[in-house]
Structure 1
Amino acid sequence: MAIALRALVEEADRYLNAARIQDYCPNGLQVEGRPQVRRIVSGVTASLALIEAAIEAEADVLLVHHGYFWKGEDACITGMKQRRLKALLNNDLSLLAYHLPLDVHPEVGNNVQLAAQLGIEVEGELEPGNPRTVGLVGALAEPMLASDFARHVQEVLGREPLLIDGPRTVRRIGWCTGGGQGYIDQAIAAGVDLFLSGEASEQTFHSAQENGVSFIAAGHHATERYGVQALGDYLARRFALEHLFIDCPNPI
C-alpha cells in the first residue's frame, strides 16, 4: 500500500505536536523526495552511511532524530553536506527529522522509550512546569547497587557506560537521553540517587561527586535509538507501510 508523502508528514507533525516546540533545527520534512510512500527506513542520524543503507533498502522516506540545518551551521552546500544531500536528491529519497519533539513525546519519545528498555517506572518530568526541560524522573521496581545498574545498562544497550559511583543503593533515577548531561543539577534538586544521560562533560564528574549522586553516561547514540524506532512503527501501523530500523554504529 502507498500513501501520499504529504499525509505521512502531516500525521507525524500532528502526532508529535512538532509546531509547539522551539528547537535548534527545523522539524518535519527537511528534504522532499518522491510523492508516494511505501517503505520507511528509520535511524538515529542522517549520515551518508544511513542514507546509502536506506537507498539499498529501497526506502521512500528516511526518518531520523538528527537531521540537518542546525542553527549556527554553515549554510553552504559543500563537502559532507553536499554529498549527503546529493545522495538524497539523486535517489528521490525524502528526509523526515524530529529532534526535541521526539525527545519529549509521552509515548514514542526517546526518554520514555529508554525507560521502557531499562525497566524504569516513569513518575514525571525532571523539572515540572519548565517546557525547556526534556528529562524525566522515575524509579526502579527494586533498589540495586549503582554498579549493578550500570551492568544492566550495558547489557540492554550493548555499550559499556561510564559510571561515576555515588550512593551504594539506587532506586530513584533521573535521565535525559543524548546530550542531556547538563540536567544533572535539576536531577539533584529532584532528589535522585542516580542521573543517566548519553554524554558527560568535565563538570559532570564534580557535580555528581560533590552532591553525592551516581552518574551514568551511556552514549548519545545508544540512548537515542528507541524513539525513532517507535515513531516509525507508529507510522507504519497507521498507514499500513513497511518500516525498517537500521542502526549505523556510533561509539559516542
Structure 2
Amino acid sequence: MAIALNTLVDEAERYLGAARIQDYCPNGLQVEGRPQVSRIVTGVTASLALLEAAVAADADVVLVHHGYFWKGENPCVVGMKHRRLKTLLANDLSLLAYHLPLDLHPEVGNNVQLARQLDIIVEGPLEPDNPRTVGLVGSLAEPMSARDFARRVHEVLGREPLLVEGDRMVSRIGWCTGGGQGYIDTAIAAGVDLYLTGEASEQTFHSARENGISFIAAGHHATERYGVQALGDYLARRFALEHLFIDCPNPV
C-alpha cells in the first residue's frame, strides 16, 4: 500500500507534537523526495552509510533521530553535506527527522523505549516541576548492584558500558539517552542511586564519585536506537507500510 508523503509527515507531526517543541534543528521533513510512500527505512543518524543502505533497500523515506541543518553549523553544501544531500536528491528519497520530539514522547520516545528495554519502571520526569525535561527517573522491581545492572545494559545494548561504580545498591535510576551527561547533577538532586546516559564528560566521573552514586555511559548511538524504531513501527501500522530498521554501527 502507498500513501502520500504529506499524509505521513502530517501524522508524524501530530503524533509527536513536534510543532510545540523548540529544538536545535528543524524537525519534520528536511528533504523532499517522491510524493508516494510505501517503504520506510529508520536509523539513528542520517549518515551516508544509512542513506546508501536505504537506497539499496528501495526505501521511499528515511526516518531518523539525528538529521541535518543544526543551529550554528556551516550552511554551505560542500563536502560531507553535499555527498549526503546528493544521495537523497539523486534517488528521490525523502528525509524525515525528529530530535527532541523523539526524546520526549511518552510512548515512542527514546527515554521511555530505553526504560522498556532495561526493565526500568518509569515514575516521571527527572525534574518533577518541569514535565518537558528530556530525562526521566524510575525504579527497578528489585534492587541490584551497579555491576549487575551494568551487565544488564551490556546484554541488552550489545556493548560494554563505561561504569563508575558506587557503593550503594541500585533501586532508583535517572537516565537521559544520548549526550545527557549534563543532567547528572539534576539526577543527584532527585535522589537516584545510578544515573545512565549515552556519553561521559571528564567532570561526570567526579560528580558521581563525590556524590556517592553510580554512573553508566552506554553509548550515544546505542541508547537512541529504540525510539526511531518504535516511531517507524507506529507509522507502518497506521498506514500499512513496510518498515525496516537499519543499524549502522557507531561505537560512540
Give matches, 1:51-130, under 5 Å. 51-130=51-130
1:11 aligns to what? Answer: 11
Aligned residue for 2:72, secondary structure, equals coil
Cα deviation, 1:4-63, whole Å, max 9, x if unaligned, reads 000000000000000011000000000000000000000000000000000000000000
Residue 47 of structure 1 is matched in structure 2 by: 47
Unaligned runs of 5+ in 2: none
Give me the identity figure in percent. 84
1:178 alignment counterpart:
178
Cα distance in 2 for partners of 1:167, 1:141 equals 19
- Whether the aligned pair in 2 keeps the contact of 1:167 and 1:193 (CA below 8 Å) is no
Runs of 4+ in 1 over 3 A off after TM superposition: none
Once the two structures are overlaid, the 10-residue window that deviates more, 132-141 or 178-187, is 132-141
| C-alpha displacement of 1:132 | 5.2
Partner residue in 1 for 2:147: 147
Alignment coverage as a number of residue pairs: 252
Residues 61 and 95 in structure 1, CA contact (< 8 A), matched pair in contact too = yes
Q: Distance in 2 between matches of 1:56 and 1:131?
A: 41
Question: For residue 189 of structure 1, what is the aligned residue in structure 2?
Answer: 189
SS in 2 for 1:68: coil
Unaligned 5+ residue runs, structure 1?
A: none
**TM-score, length of structure 1 as denominator length:** 0.99
| SS of aligned partner of 1:116 | helix
Match of 1:238 in 2: 238
Counterpart CA distance in 2 for 1:122 and 1:167 is: 23
Is the aligned partner of 1:25 residue 2:33? no
Whole-angstrom CA distance in 2 between matches of 1:131 and 1:69 = 27
SS at match of 2:170: strand
The amino acid of 1:24's aligned partner reads Y
Aligned to 1:247: 247
Is the Cα contact below 8 Å between 2:51 and 2:88 reproduced in 1?
Answer: yes
**Does residue 212 of the first structure (1) align with residue 216 of the second (2)?**
no
